[in-house]
Amino acid sequence: MISDQEYNRIREIKRAVESGLLDLPDVDGVSLGFKHVAGKATDDFSICVHVKEKKAKEQCSTGELIPESIQGVATDVVERKDMAGTAPATALAADSKKYRPVVGGCEISTFIDPKAGTRHAGTCGLVVDTQGAGWLVLTNCHVLFSNPKTDGEYFCANECYVGQPLVDHVDPTGKNKAESGNIAMIGKSVLDENIDAGIALTTNGIDATINYIIDIGNIKGSYTITQSDIAGEGYPVKKRGCTTLLTSGFVTHIDFSRNRPDGGPLMKNQLAIGSNGTFADHGDSGSAVVDANNRVVGLLWGIEGWYVASPIAPVLEKLGIDIGTLSLPSQVMRSWCSTTRKAVQETLKSTPAGKNYLQLFLQHYPEFREIAKKDKGYQAIWDENDGDEIIKALIERVRYPDKPPSAVEVGKSVRARSDVLIKEFTKLCSPELRELMESLDSEVERCYPMSWNQILTHLSSSEQP
């Protein structure tokens, strides 16, 4: 395998010569990857020149020939397979259903010309948490804005909305109106040489499941692909878009540079994805590219000639967002959204004891979320003990307030798993929270077999914690 020092040396050489290579006829990309001979990957890490079609040497002029090596680094000429961008840009999505909660992998749309009523569609890559301010839809800048051409940050001058699956209404003055199909207001978007990405803040009353993608499941954080990962056939990835749905491929090249087909800025340090079939098409832009461990590695934006994604690390950094490493926050946040959250808060406030319990929960929940999202040891214990199912059971208790917990919920196995999670959490939390949990242990034990309404009745006669 290639060392980091050698990789950095080769990358510096590649970046120094890529401009000249991109100026050659029929060259539409320069990247780094392992050289292929007769269709098989070798151990030679090389500067890869991507062309529309390979030509025999006798068909090329002297200035068009790609040298076999550059400053001692092997080169590889990679011919593209014209299987990307085959569907017309106006093609309908294969999945244009309405999703509530809003979730990664679903179709979203915006109006790119409000007066004409022209619609522009793409895919919601993922919904991420804003640490208490709401949920953010993550997609491409060019999905939120009509094919932006210049390098920089983009913001909507008016209140522009994202629809799922369609924006319902647009005012002739050019100001989008929030109607039943509109799910989020467009926020910061960035199109530069490193990323094509943007976010939209979900509107009031819109439920969303964070860190979850249709047909893929719970997302387990993010990952940066390295030079060693793409050896052999490449790094296995998958995506779920609204047009081609769930597809798989391989990241075969990194540090990929190419001019955007839509006239935007030269993109650098991108991921090039190969596939034995169609990996993506029009409407799939914005899809999260995910590895076998369900970690997001990139955000898909290019489907013409090459499948191209922006690495996820600069996306997160420039948009100031984070992808959780655990499905737990999505279940907890979902259970506390809109109607359910308000109902729980109002009923708890109806008694002095319930009001104090609610205040304690809101006070210490950020600490719990921080541990759940960042401590890998606790994440593993959570998964081993089916923590999500325990949370779902608690949510069901609130949704059906007169229904007592099921036999499965109060069974020893569930109680035992809950005890494990609580015990491990107390080892990680602050002394203040640990002391509080220990003081409430007997009260939790008493309430566990009760229905939600029975718990409220009990709280009405309980002393304040």
Tell me the pLDDT tens digit for each residue of 438-453: 888 888 888 878 888 8
Question: What single letter denotes the amino acid at residue 218?
Answer: N
Residue 165: CB atoms within 10 A of its CB come to 19
- What value does the mean pLDDT of the chain take? 82
pLDDT of residue 167: 54
Angle at which helices 431-439 and 352-374 cross, to 10°:
130
Q: Where do the structural domains in the chain lie, given as residue ranges?
A: 4-79, 81-324, 328-460
Reply yes or no on whether the pLDDT at 112 is more than 70.
no
Of 61-70, 162-171, 315-324, the range with the lowest mean pLDDT is 162-171
Question: Which is higher by pLDDT, 408 or 345?
Answer: 345
Query: Residue range 424-432: average pLDDT?
Result: 92
pLDDT of residue 175: 47
Residue written as token pair 């994440």: 379
Query: Residue range 105-131: average pLDDT?
Result: 77
Of 140-154, 172-186, 225-239, the range with the lowest mean pLDDT is 172-186
Q: Check if the beta carbon of residue 235 is closer than 8 Å to that of residue 228.
A: no
Summarize pLDDT for 244-283 with one digit per residue, the tens.
999 999 999 999 999 888 777 899 999 999 998 899 998 9
Summarize pLDDT for 323-375 with one digit per residue, the tens.
864 443 343 444 444 445 666 777 888 888 888 888 888 888 888 878 877 78
pTM of the model: 0.72
pLDDT of residue 29: 94
User: Which CATH number, 3.30.300, 1.10.287, 3.90.25, 2.30.30, labels domain 4-79?
Assistant: 3.30.300
| Domains 4-79 and 81-324 fall in the same CATH topology | no
pLDDT of residue 346: 77
pLDDT band at 183 (very low <50, low <70, confident <90, very high): confident
Summarize pLDDT for 196-205 with one digit per residue, the tens.
999 998 876 7
Of 19-33, 67-81, 217-231, 330-344, the range with the lowest mean pLDDT is 330-344
Radius of gyration of the chain from its Cα atoms, rounded to whole angstroms: 26
pLDDT of residue 419: 85
List beta partners, residue 127.
Answer: 137
User: Which CATH number, 3.40.50.200, 1.10.10.410, 3.40.50.10540, 2.40.10.10, labels domain 81-324?
Assistant: 2.40.10.10
Query: Residue range 176-184: average pLDDT?
Result: 63
Residue written as token pair 């294969």: 94
Which two tokens mark 284?
């799939």
Query: Residue range 203-220: average pLDDT?
Result: 86
Residue 421 C-alpha from the chain's centroid:
27
Reply yes or no on whether the pLDDT at 289 is more than 80.
yes
Nearest alpha carbon to residue 296 among 288, 307, 304, 286? 288
Reply yes or no on whether the pLDDT at 410 is more than 80.
no
Percentage of the chain modeled with pLDDT above 90:
40
Beta strands 102-104 and 208-213 are parallel
